[in-house]
Amino acid sequence: MAHWFFMTALTARYTGSSESRMEQDLAMLRGKREPHAFVEALEREIRAVFTNDYWAVTLPNNLETSAARTPSQAAFYASLVVIDAPVLFSHMKVRDLLSPNVRPVKQALERHHLFPRNYLRKQGISDDRLINQIANFTLIEWRDNIEISDQPPASYAPDRERRFAPHEIRRMYKYHALREGWYEMDYTDFLMDRRKRMAEVIREGYQSLPSFSTAN
């Protein structure tokens, strides 16, 4: 059921006209008395939603938002947990620092502007819809967030890269949807590139979930 939950949460399937949508889904399952028939019906619907175009076009487009809470952003952070990704510029794991059992005095992780707000304003970018796009955020430890402050990414990122082995940086960047040298990119190009990479991370998170089908 993890696959079904992931799909419905990511696509906000039951948001708006939820009763009608639920009735349609229940009708899809009506008469499915055998476990394999039930599973096949769910898988068929998931495949109809999660097409190649969904991952390559629809999801990156959905990530083009500055809304504080969105299903796609939640799915990205959930995927970092599922694939056991490290926190950016840290040896800690996202899974560990988001654990409900961790109760630090200050929140362990913070949403960090990869291109800091005041830095962008100095570059002439003042539209909050651009500054606060989902693609400009990732999770880092609060100490790093404080230290980075308003530094240009081309200043703080290379300094932190040197604290890790090359293979560790490659892994961090892969799972935080960052290309090599991302901090030297034009900001608009960076947002476009990162949205596509975030969609790939979300897809990997989904595919990493335990399969509920004997056919997979």
Given a cut of 50, the residues of the chain with pLDDT beneath it are 105, 213-216
Q: What is the pLDDT, as a whole number, of residue 210? A: 82
Q: Distance between CA atoms of 137 and 131, rounded to whole angstroms?
A: 9
Specify the pTM.
0.89
Q: Distance between CA atoms of 31 and 27, rounded to whole angstroms?
A: 9
Q: Integer distance in angstroms from the first to the last C-alpha of the chain? A: 14
Q: Distance between CA atoms of 21 and 25, rounded to whole angstroms?
A: 6
Domain boundaries, the chain: 2-50, 57-207
Instruction: Give the contacts of 211 (CB within 8 A, at least 6 positions apart).
Output: 3
Q: What is the pLDDT, as a whole number, of residue 125? A: 95
Q: What is the pLDDT, as a whole number, of residue 90? A: 93
Q: Which residue is listed with tokens 């560990």?
A: 96
- Return the CA Rg of the chain: 19
pLDDT tens string 111-143 = 899 999 999 999 999 999 999 999 999 989 988
Segment (H or E) for 113: strand 109-113
Q: What is the pLDDT, as a whole number, of residue 205? A: 96
Q: Which residue is listed with tokens 């890790």?
A: 164
Q: What is the pLDDT, as a whole number, of residue 187? A: 97
